[in-house]
Amino acid sequence: MRQRFKRTFFRSVPDAPGVYLMFDEGGEVLYIGKSIRLRTRLLSYRSARPDQVSNKVLRLVCAVRDIRWEPCKSDEEACLRENFLLRNYRPPFNVVNTKSFIYEYIVWQVVDGVYYWKLTPLDEIPDGVAVFGAFKGRRATKRAYQALIRLLWVMTREIDSVSALPHELMLEKAPRNYSFKVPAPLTERLHVLIPGFLQGEDTGLINWFLERLNSRHAIEAFLRQWMETEMETLADFYVRTLRSHREMRAMMPGGGAIIPQEKVDDLLLLHKNAQPICSQNEVIYGQETEE
């Protein structure tokens, strides 16, 4: 770096927010980064030492033949520009935000009283289904999805022992595609509660689960504890993901029922830097929290 980029080069770099792109000798983009102080960040590569940085950074430094930058008005603008460039170039030395289609959607369809559930990262969703997402945080989304289908299966049946559950729901990782019949008397209520919960509007579904659980006096202790743990998982997902997802949808032009894969990272950034939309008390799984 010292041989290829002289001090005069770094003096020309503004010490302001912006993004930078590193190229190899063939003109291909190797790496895209951003900083609130471009000059300081790029100088850190010039002074990189083998005993101070990772092997990945050393390989990058050795391969770089050209560096270009774009000043931005703010760190937020730099982050948005970095996201855009990463999605378009997908440089080999970047990992985060280079793959758009990795976030999960929860898909729900009802046909003749049968509930069809699917957890999928694909953007191509067939017509006639309810879609919620895309949600960043694949592990948390998967856990919440699994808790949801387990609770729905148990709470729509009169069972009192965990041994009555289907084998596939007993596994640590419940299936990403699952279907089951729901008794007709319960469907009207659930068709309001399920969308309300997954859209981040209210926690009525969790409260309904709790009411159903408390009405069963002969239920096995292990099953009760398991269901309570699953309700806690859903409550945590609501607080950490669904409420903010609702607010991010409101930030999109014209709103929208879902967030497209390519918009998730940008909206998360804007939501993080935005002032709270409102402050209100909300009861979540028996506890009052302030939004």
Does residue 166 sit in the same domain as residue 235?
yes
Does residue 97 belong to any structural domain of this protein?
no
Q: How confident is the model at residue 272 (pLDDT cuts 50, 70, 90)?
A: confident
Does residue 49 sit in the same domain as residue 165?
no
Segment 74-87, tens digit of pLDDT: 998 999 899 889 88
Q: How confident is the model at residue 284 (pLDDT cuts 50, 70, 90)?
A: low
Does residue 185 sit in the same domain as residue 243?
yes
- Domain extent, residue 65, equals 7-89
Does residue 96 belong to any structural domain of this protein?
no
What is d(CA 144, CA 140) in angstroms, rounded to the nearest whole number?
A: 6
CA distances from 57 to 31, 42, 61, 209, 266 (A): 10, 12, 6, 51, 26
- Of 119, 226, 135, nearest to 174 by C-alpha is 119
Which of 63, 89, 115 is the C-terminal boundary of a domain? Answer: 89
Does residue 2 belong to any structural domain of this protein?
no
Which of 48, 64, 89 is the C-terminal boundary of a domain? Answer: 89
What global pTM score does this model have? 0.76
Q: Which of 18-27, 54-63, 110-119, 275-284 shows the lowest per-residue confidence on average (mean pLDDT)?
A: 275-284
Does residue 149 belong to any structural domain of this protein?
yes
Mean pLDDT score of the chain, rounded to an integer?
88
Strands across the sheet with 66-71, in order? 29-35, 18-23, 66-71
Instruction: Please give the pLDDT value at position 53.
Output: 85
Beta bridge partners of 110: 115
What is d(CA 129, CA 108) in angstroms, rounded to the nearest whole number?
A: 6
- Please tell me the total count of domains within the chain: 2
Which CATH number does the domain housing residue 36 bear?
3.40.1440.10
User: What is the torsion angle, in degrees rounded to the nearest 10, for the CA atoms of residue 261, residue 265, residue 266 and residue 271?
Assistant: 120
Does residue 133 sit in the same domain as residue 221?
yes
Does residue 231 belong to any structural domain of this protein?
yes
